[in-house]
Copies of this chain bind each other. A is one copy, B any other.
Amino acid sequence: MHQPVVVGDLSEREILARISARTGVADAAIVGPGDDAAVLSVAGSLVATTDTLVEGPDFRRAWSDGYSLGWKSAAVNLADVAAMGARPTALLVALAVPNDTPVEYVERIADGLREACDELAPGCAVVGGDLTQSSVLTVAVTALGSTDDRRTVLRSGARAGDTVALAGDLGVAARGLDVLFERFDGSAPRLDELTADDRRAVERQLRPVPPLALGIVAAEAGATSMMDVSDGLALDATRLATASGVTIDLARNALGGHPSTALRGGEDHALLATFTGPIPEGFRPIGRVLEAGETALLVDGSPYAGEAGWDPYRDWHAPDRAVGWSA
């Protein structure tokens, strides 16, 4: 039987060489991987964010092949850069991997990182990284971006009278996770057994496709506030309202056919923004900004009473689900 080459068979240098052969070259890179640090050109101000995927709470290897893991690690970080109205330019990737991980799995992580950059944020690529031994597969990505000549769009700028708008999916990735738990708990997903909708939901859970280019569109259209919806619309809209000192009133009938899932479900990485004037193409109106009231979030004028998003700490030991997720 074919024995795969595992991480423990090779030196750190050999593995890093295999990774960097696959991750492409960032347009902004003056010095890429291989020195003590990368050197990058920055246009305007620098935007920087970090987000980690840990095996168990954030992904399962039974569900995520290396490519999907690399893709998702990139996408969730690129979304945070886009949500500032900035242009992603570079990723740094810290991998901690068990010695018995096939080297091919690590190479596929690199492929997923590169292709997520190429599709979601052309010109962006991995410029540096680190490889460590750990018993828990962990991918910590830092994403960098340039503001160019745009102002950044913060969470704190929403004003009463603004329209609340959204670009991207709501509740799709959460539905995908439900499908994975219900149908494939502990086993690889067999996508051909699923309906087209369920298959798409699983694919979005494993390889999210946030509408990154619309972050810049929103900034240029004068968005007064913006954020990445990673922990569910209800929780993230509450955060935006709180940061802005306003109340947000969402229209349930603008949230699609499953409004409860749309409000609760995380990991779609939609863009939530507010606009004083007309909303740009790609966004759809889902509510309005009011003066601050007793609660930060209303749905159809009433205080939101549903489950508000996901917290990996509180929900980790939930009796009905062994593994939670965060984003």
Q: Chain A interface (Cβ within 8 Å of chain B)?
A: 7-8, 10-13, 15, 30-31, 34-42, 45-54, 56-58, 79-81, 83-84, 86, 90, 92-94, 96, 99, 127-130, 132-136, 138, 140, 142-145, 147, 152, 154-156, 226-228, 243, 311-314, 316-317, 326
Contact = CB atoms under 8 A, between A and B. Distances in A.
Copies in the complex: 2
A261 to B, nearest CB: 22
A39 B136 contact: no
A138 B96 contact: yes
Contacts of A8: 313, 316-317
B54 A132 contact: yes
Counting from the closest, the 10 A-B pairs by CB-CB distance are: A37-B49, A140-B140, A142-B142, A94-B140, A36-B83, A50-B92, A36-B80, A52-B94, A40-B46, A136-B136
Contacts of A80: 36-37
B39 A47 contact: yes
B136 A135 contact: yes
Contacts of A45: 30, 39-42
Contact of A99 (B30, B37, B49, B313): B313
| From A31, A142, A144, residue with most partner B Cβ within 10 Å | A142
Nearest to A226: B36
B58 A132 contact: yes
A147 B142 CA distance: 20
Given A34-B155, A35-B243, 18 more contacts: A11-B313, A31-B154, A36-B84, A37-B48, A37-B80, A37-B84, A40-B46, A48-B128, A50-B93, A51-B130, A52-B96, A52-B140, A94-B140, A132-B312, A134-B138, A135-B135, A135-B136, A136-B136
Contact of A56 (B40, B56, B135): B135
A326 B154 contact: no
A174 B66 CA distance: 35
A142 B326 contact: no
Contact of A39 (B46, B140, B156): B46
Given A132-B57, A133-B54, A38 B31 contact: no
